Amino acid sequence: MADRYTQLVNTPIGRIITRQLGLPAPVPLERYSPGQAVLEGRVLLGGAPGGRLARALAQVLTDAHAEVVEPPAAGGERHRALVFDATGITDPQALGELHAFFHPSIRTLQACGRVVVLGTPPAQARTPSEAVAQRALEGFTRSVAKELRRGGTAQLLYVAPGGEGQLASTLRFLLSPRSAYVSGQVVLLGPASEPPVLDWDRPLDGRVALVTGASRGIGAAIAATLARDGAHVVGLDVPSLTDDLEALTSRLRGSALALDITAEDAPERIAAHLHSEHDGVDVVVHNAGITRDRTLGRMDGALWSSVIDVNLLAVQRITDALIAGASYTVLRPGGRVLCVSSISAIAGNAGQSNYATSKAGVIGIVDAYAPLLGARLATINAVAPGFIESQMTAGMPFALRQAARRMNSLSQGGLPIDVAETIAWLASPASGGLNGNVVRVCGQNLLGA
Ligand SMILES: NC(=O)c1ccc[n+]([C@@H]2O[C@H](COP(=O)([O-])OP(=O)(O)OC[C@H]3O[C@@H](n4cnc5c(N)ncnc54)[C@H](O)[C@@H]3O)[C@@H](O)[C@H]2O)c1
């Protein structure tokens, strides 16, 4: 639901006042409801000459029943999405292809429209000139994301050579209302084994997902979304919240595991539970987290270590237990590990040296474990939320909370469902080409932008 300011500025009188005072004018974001098409409206699909993704893109869009049109756009035609294959840009001089496609089309984008630019990872370019040109796409896409108004988003998807067959799950996410609060992101898609044929409405059918910190807030939304997608959810939370946890998991037809993840024996108990009750786990979401904010000079050792223990050490210990059990491996082949970091980890935040340290450490876990898990056909990725409306952010001082809500390209806070949809995309069996990514769910927050 939109916050009160967003509701107010979308009334006729509110629109006049915000325009005259130059105030932020957020629009209510369109969000996914089950059964909805990937995108409703036309997709303008273009590309620089020599690009290698045209066929794969057309296939994914056709399979998603999108109405695809080619440039030049007919006069007065509006578009739901603008998709541009920039892999043919192998020299900085050819960057004008971006201008040639987007200059005439950018103003045809509908409210809550989508821009997706596809390129080649600079590290895998064949020449220095190609690497330079492909790196330049980042600045372009992030700037377009900041220029879009009315709930529009823009992303850059780098597709490594060999990753062409992995486009479907990512394109479906980025083009759909599921990615409502994700903007200005750079996602890396690599080669992987051929994605399974899926029921896109229930991609996790028959799979088991562990969600820590599941009893409320973002964790509850993640649990509900993974259950919606077909998973049996094992919700985990501290024993003091057992009633809330059990109420949630019984509603989702899942099961509850009440324990403190910092307990000495927690990793072994979690691994043993998943092994004996479910014969393993397919999706692990490290969502449980705490804040204990103070500036460093006022932060005692207990405040420091409680945050590091929950947000970082427990995540690594549990991951280790699930991938390297003494006599069995609990994370099944094709498993998905998802970590919840924070934009504080990327930009730093005054009063959060403990929290930002722990959440940057989580990104370190993703970096360090991605090759290990990739070798087992599993993946590990992180989401880094910005300001999300939850009990955690409801505790912020009023003025700071209002400022934090507006300091992003969409001028509003995100909802727990926005983080949950991003997790669900990365958790999909069709997302094997995504490994080692950190995707911010922050409306392109100005911090760490
Ligand atoms: N809300 C935001 O704006 C925001 C922004 C960035 C990152 N995050 C991250 O998202 C995650 C969820 O945040 P939220 O806003 O829903 O917070 P929340 O406080 O509403 O929920 C956190 C959950 O984790 C559980 N938990 C805490 N310590 C635990 C422990 N030792 N063992 C087991 N469970 C434990 C809590 O009981 C609670 O249910 C956290 O990792 C948080 O750091 C949130």
pLDDT of 17: 61
Amino acid code (one letter) for 216: R
Q: What is the mean pLDDT of residues 398-425?
A: 93
Radius of gyration of the chain (CA): 22
**Higher per-residue pLDDT: 73 or 124:** 124
Residues 183, 409: Cα–Cα separation, whole Å: 8
Query: Are the C-beta atoms of 44 and 70 separated by less than 8 Å?
Result: yes
Beta bridge partners of residue 109, listed in sequence order: 79
CA-216 nearest atom, ligand 1: 39
Q: What is the mean pLDDT of residues 183-199?
A: 95
Number of CB atoms found within 10 A of residue 350's CB: 10
181 catalytically annotated: no
Q: Model-level pTM? A: 0.96
Nearest C-alpha to atom 41 of ligand 1 is from which residue? Answer: 289
Taking CB atoms and a 6 Å cutoff, what residues make up the pocket around ligand 1? 212-213, 215-219, 237-238, 241, 260-262, 287-290, 310, 340, 342, 385, 387-388, 390-393
Question: What is the distance in A from the centroid of ligand 1 to the CA of 91?
Answer: 45
pLDDT of 12: 67
- Find tokens 């094992």 and name the residue: 234
Dihedral (Cα; 31, 34, 39, 41), 10-degree rounding: -90
Is 4 a residue whose pLDDT tops 90?
Answer: no
pLDDT of 416: 98
Instruction: Give the pLDDT band (50/70/90) at residue 415.
Output: very high
Residues 89, 43: Cα–Cα separation, whole Å: 21
Laid out side by side, the sheet with 232-237 consists of 255-258, 232-237, 208-212, 281-286, 331-340, 379-385, 438-441
Query: Taking the alpha carbons of 416, 418, 422, 428 in that order, is the dihedral positive or negative?
Result: positive
Is 2 a residue whose pLDDT tops 60?
Answer: yes
pLDDT of 431: 98
Question: What is the distance in A from the centroid of ligand 1 to the CA of 409?
Answer: 24
Per-residue pLDDT reduced to its tens digit, 28-80: 999 999 889 988 899 999 999 999 999 999 999 999 999 999 998 777 899 99
Number of CB atoms found within 10 A of residue 162's CB: 13
Candidates 5, 158, 181, 355; catalytic one? 355
- Return all residues near 99 (Cβ < 8 A) that are at least 6 apart: none
pLDDT of 7: 74
Alpha helices in 194-311 (DSSP H): 217-228, 242-251, 266-278, 301-308
Instruction: Give the pLDDT band (50/70/90) at residue 23.
Output: low
Nearest C-alpha to atom 44 of ligand 1 is from which residue? Answer: 385
CA-based angle 6:12:13, to the nearest 5?
Answer: 85
Number of CB atoms found within 10 A of residue 217's CB: 20
Is 248 a residue whose pLDDT tops 70?
Answer: yes
Nearest C-alpha to atom 19 of ligand 1 is from which residue? Answer: 392
Number of CB atoms found within 10 A of residue 265's CB: 9
Q: What is the mean pLDDT of residues 80-103?
A: 98
pLDDT of 73: 78
Instruction: Give the pLDDT band (50/70/90) at residue 434.
Output: very high
Instruction: Give the pLDDT band (50/70/90) at residue 1.
Output: low
**Higher per-residue pLDDT: 2 or 236:** 236
Per-residue pLDDT reduced to its tens digit, 357-377: 999 999 999 999 999 999 989
pLDDT of 345: 97
User: Where on the phi/psi map is residue 173: left (φ > 0), alpha (ψ -120 to 50), or beta?
Assistant: alpha
- Find tokens 């509003």 and name the residue: 412
Instruction: Give the pLDDT band (50/70/90) at residue 400.
Output: confident
Q: At what angle do helices 266-278 and 314-323 cross, to 10 degrees?
A: 40
Query: Are the C-beta atoms of 386 and 443 separated by less than 8 Å?
Result: yes
Query: C-alpha distances in angstroms, 397 versus 138, 393, 394, 404?
Result: 35, 9, 8, 10
Domains of the chain are 38-189 (3.40.50.720), 208-441 (3.40.50.720)
Question: What is the distance in A from the centroid of ligand 1 to the CA of 41?
Answer: 37
**Higher per-residue pLDDT: 393 or 387:** 387
Instruction: Give the mutation target among 307, 390, 405 for probing the ligand 1 site: most ligand atoms within 8 A of CB.
Output: 390
Q: What is the mean pLDDT of residues 398-419?
A: 92
pLDDT of 327: 53
> Per-residue DSSP letters for 413-445?
-B-HHHHHHHHHHHHSGGGTT--S-EEEESSSB
Q: Which of 201-205, 249-253, 307-311, 387-391 has the lowest mean pLDDT?
A: 387-391
Instruction: Give the pLDDT band (50/70/90) at residue 394.
Output: confident
Is 330 a residue whose pLDDT tops 80?
Answer: yes
Phi/psi at 5 (5° precision):
-65, -45
Phi/psi at 153 (5° precision):
-135, 155
> Percent of the chain at pLDDT above 90?
85
- Find tokens 């898990």 and name the residue: 373
Per-residue pLDDT reduced to its tens digit, 156-165: 999 999 999 9
Question: What is the distance in A from the centroid of ligand 1 to the CA of 390?
Answer: 9
pLDDT of 26: 84
Query: Are the C-beta atoms of 444 and 410 separated by less than 8 Å?
Result: yes
Instruction: Give the pLDDT band (50/70/90) at residue 395.
Output: confident
